[in-house]
Every structure is written in structure tokens, then in C-alpha cells.
Amino acid sequence: MALLNINGLSFAAGDRTILDGLNLALAEQEIHALLGANGTGKSTLAYLIMGCSGYVGSAGEIRFAGQPIDALPLHERAKLGITMAWQEPARFEGLRVEDYLALKSASDPADCLRRVGLEPDRYLQRAVDKTLSGGERKRIELASVLALQPRLAILDEPASGIDMLSLQEIVDVIQFLNKMQTTVLLITHRQEIAHIADRASLLCGGRIVLTGAPDAVAEQYRARRCLMCDGEACRA
Ligand code: ADP
Ligand code: MG
């Protein structure tokens, strides 16, 4: 049985259709890359899976471990074991890194920091605020996902932005998640990242237009462009 099963999911923002009958299934413990050009709706899909406020599908269904979760608020989905590392991590003025990681702790905060390339002695007492660089916040966000030991981790563009994680660092983080039996949805606009995954899907025109081996899917996506439609948006 699929851990995550998305069937016919549609979402519009204002009069703009972003997702249009999207289907996607993630197997238990799979690492699944979601590729798509900028603005195709990858983050929107992540917010719909998480249950962020304002993100309710106009059609379709999302099931997690067999259970429909569409009506559940974000914190209930988090309790089921769904978590996310945001493309733009939040800041929490006044909260120290150590406390932020402990909030979610199933694992040792220092160990989680080391696994994202941060020396615990230098970071545990820091505040999770604007004094951290974008890359440092991104790493701390990933550490918090590791700390939670989730069933499903959605990593939204883990390798984007300045001071980004290297491909090897992302491989290490994902392998560690995999060891904890976490299923990973790896969202990226970079085709080289997709090769880390077991399978990949391509999002274009509001739908998944291709799912398969990462090589085969990356073949249809180059330089931030869907080649199945030559960048014109599939089925538009
Ligand atoms: P991606 O992550 O693939 O780059 P996004 O999911 O961030 O794409 O955005 C998809 C499209 O939907 C973009 O054109 C974006 O401007 C638009 N969009 C996303 N959320 C909203 C919103 N709440 N209101 C209006 N437009 C939105
Ligand atoms: Mg995005």
C-alpha cells in the first residue's frame, strides 16, 4: 500500500489553476523526487500535503497510510508523522537552536546538527533568528526534520539558495532519513538532484506528466524546463 496517495487533486489561487487533477503515490520508505520548472506548483503541492492554512483542494483526495487527511489541520497531520523542511525556513525570534530542535526531539539535537554539517558547539546556543544566514537556517530546518524521525519528510528545494547544501550533504541527510524508515518527497528544480531518488515525477501543467526512474524523468526535464511540452506547460 502507498504511504501517500494523492488522487485528482486540484487547487486554484484566485482565478489561476495551479494543480489540475494531480495524481501521485509514494510507496512506504521510498525516496521520490518531484521535478518541475519554477512556478509549476511544487511548493503549493507540499503545502496541500502539509495542510497549511489557505491550502484546501477544490477537488480530489489525499490519503496518508490509507486515511483521508484532507479535513485534518496541519498539527494533526504532523502528529501522523508528516513533516516538511520549507523552501524558505521561518525564523523564531528568541528561540535557541537547541530548544527549537528539542521541540521536535526524538533524536539528540547535537547529532542532528552534525548530520547537516553544523558544529553543535557553535550552533546550539544561537537564536533561530535573522543572525543566522539563509543557508544556516536551511540546515537547521533539515536538522529539525531529522530530529522528528517522521514517517514522511517533504524536503522543499533543500539545495537552493546561497550557501546551499552540496549534493553529497543531501545524499547523507536522505540516507539517514531512509535508515529511520522515513519516506522522502524531494522537491527540486535541479535535475541532478533527482538522481538521488528511487523514483521521480515531473510536474507540468498542474499534473504529474511522468513518473519513473530518475534518469528517464530527468531526460524529459533540462535547464528548468519540461521537454515533454518544450516549456509550454503540458496540456495547456
Ligand atoms: P514552485 O514551488 O513549483 O516554484 P509554487 O507552488 O511556489 O511553485 O507556485 C506556483 C504558482 O502559484 C506560482 O505562479 C505562484 O505565483 C502561484 N501561487 C502560489 N500560491 C499562491 C497564492 N496563495 N496566491 C496566488 N498565487 C499563488
Ligand atoms: Mg517552490
Query: What is the pLDDT, as a whole number, of residue 99?
Result: 87
* Residues contacting 136, CB < 8 A, separation 6+: 118, 123, 163
Largest CA-CA distance found in the chain, in angstroms, rounded? 52
Residues in the chain: 236
Closest ligand by atom to 156 CA? 2
For the Cβ of 53 lying below 6 angstroms from any atom of ligand 1, the answer is no
Please check the confidence at residue 214 and state whether its pLDDT lies above 90.
yes
| Residue whose CB lies within 8 A of the most ligand 1 atoms, among 43, 84, 157, 201, for a mutation test | 43
Query: What is the pLDDT, as a whole number, of residue 94?
Result: 80
* The domain made up of 30-41+81-235 is a member of CATH 3.40.50.300: yes
Ligand 1 centroid vs 188 CA: distance in angstroms?
15
Please check the confidence at residue 163 and state whether its pLDDT lies above 80.
no
Give the pTM.
0.95
For the Cβ of 43 lying below 6 angstroms from any atom of ligand 1, the answer is yes
**Each residue of 76-121: pLDDT tens digit?**
999 999 999 988 888 888 889 988 888 766 788 999 999 999 999 9
Distance CA 20, CA 207 (A): 6
- Segment 195-203 shows an average pLDDT of 96
- How crowded is the C-beta side of 197, counted as CA atoms within 13 Å? 33
Residue nearest (by alpha carbon) to ligand 1 atom 26: 13
- Segment 187-216 shows an average pLDDT of 95
Please check the confidence at residue 20 and state whether its pLDDT lies above 80.
yes
Ligand 2 centroid vs 125 CA: distance in angstroms?
30
Distance CA 55, CA 52 (A): 6
